Each structure stands twice: as structure tokens, then as C-alpha cells.
Amino acid sequence: MGDRWDALQDAFGRDPAYHELKAGLLKSYFLDEASLWAARALEVQPGQQVLDLCAAPGGKSLVLALALGGQGELTANDRSSARRARLHRVLEEHLPPELYQTVKVTGHDAVSWGIHRPDRYDRVLLDAPCSSERHVFESPGHRSRWTESRTKVLARQAYAMAASALLTVKPGGMVVYSTCALSPLENDAVMDRLAKKKGDGLEFLPARAPWGEPTERGWQIWPDSAEGRGPIYFARFRKREIKEEGDE
């Protein structure tokens, strides 16, 4: 982070800027306002088939379920049984019955999802497991697990999940890839690798939020310039539709 690290540390030392998600819910849910924009970037419409590939703890799933408005289906997936239990609680406690009935919770491996369910969803949100530097700064437990090689391992895993998301979204459908990391290896570098390996199968779409700045592939919200929001990175891409032979 170079000279910016001092300002980032100061921002991490302050309380995050939370948004109260309230309208349409049984009770309020508070989430980082930067996360709200990452979920909204998926542009979910009523009636769509939507997948939240790494859904726990559930804040972004609430945003997606509200966008569906009781029409369509949201699959909220998380492989971890402990995180999935929390996801269940969040959804049950906050969603009214007409929205809750459109949500299905699953516990599959995000890396292999696309192989088993190709061309299945209109929208896919991949909020990938990441370094989460805010947690590293705030939590001794997270700090003790952090190593220089950890971001490289997470980046490789994130690429595999992003490739899976591309497989499972329908032709013409959209994927939003997001992290709460600052590490470029887990953000633009993952998207660069996806473009290199799968470039004929996708096109990147503009990404924007009220705070932060553009990157080569997406958008980065920095806590030091966003009044404590973030960090959040997100990028958007669409799966190209396959042209049949003879199509112009």
C-alpha cells in the first residue's frame, strides 16, 4: 500500500460505516455500505434465478432476496456448516414469509458448482473468501493466521470459484465477483487470469460506486477515502452468448 498504509490503518481503527437494511424486512440488518453496493451491482430483477455462491453470513443474500421481491429463486450457498447455520438464522430472522419461500440454502463446494449446474442462473454473486485486511487489523486471531503466502493461496481458490461462476451462469447472464480485500492478487489479478483463460467466453462490464476508484477490471472502495466504508472490491462480467453456426 506504500504511503497510503498509514491512512488505511487510521481508517481501520474507526468504526465501519454501516447501512441499515430495513425496508421489506422483519427487522433491521446492518452491513457495510460498500457491501451493499457490491450486491446491488448484480442488478437482480424479479423472476430471475439467482445464486449467491459464498453467501454467509447473509447480508448480501438479504439484498438479493429483496430485489427478487418474492418472484424467482435465490440459492444461498456456503460450504461451511458453521457459517451455513448463521446464514439460516439471518435469513429466517429477517425475511418475511413471501420472500423467505423463494430462498434455498445449500452447502456445496463453490469450486465444483459450475461443473454440476452449467448455464443455470441469470445472476451469480461470488463474494470470495479473502484476506479481509480489516479483520487482520482488528483481530489477533486473524492476524495470527495471516502469512505472505496466504493471499496467493486465496487468489488461486478465488480464480477456481470465478471460473465455476462463469460456468454456472446462463449465456447472457451476469456475474459479480467481490472481495473485502485490498490485495491486488485477490482482486484484479484474479479477473486478469479469468480473462486470459476464458476471455472468449466473457465480457467485462463497467463497475461503479459513490466512493472509491476504478481499477483495470473493476472498482475498489478504500476505507481511507470512503469515510470508513470497505474495503470492498467488485468486478462485473457477462457470459457471452454462443452463436450458432450461420449466425451473423
The stretches in the chain having pLDDT less than 50 are none
Report d(CA 72, CA 143) in Å as an integer. 41
Report d(CA 67, CA 94) in Å as an integer. 14
- Residue 81 three-state SS: helix
Class of domain 2-239: alpha beta
Closest by Cα among 22, 176, 24 to 100 = 24
pTM, full prediction:
0.93
232, 34 in Cβ contact below 8 A? yes
Give the residue extent of every domain in the chain: 2-239
Task: Kindly report, residue by residue over 81-100, the tens digit of the pLDDT.
Answer: 999 999 999 999 999 999 99
Residue type, 177: Y
Which pLDDT score, from 0 to 100, does residue 227 have?
A: 86
Which pLDDT score, from 0 to 100, does residue 216 have?
A: 97
H-type helices in the chain, by residue range? 5-12, 33-40, 59-68, 81-94, 97-100, 110-116, 133-138, 140-145, 150-168, 188-198
In this structure, the number of other CB atoms found within 10 A of the CB of residue 127 comes to 24
Task: Kindly report, residue by residue over 21-73, the tens digit of the pLDDT.
Answer: 999 999 999 999 999 999 999 999 999 999 999 999 999 999 999 999 999 99
Report d(CA 145, CA 151) in Å as an integer. 11
Q: Could you say which DSSP state residue 210 is in?
A: S
Q: Which residue has the cell 487470469?
A: 193
- Catalytic residue chosen out of the listed positions 180, 182, 207, 221: 180
Q: Is 54 a catalytic residue?
A: no
Q: Largest alpha-carbon pair distance within the chain?
A: 60
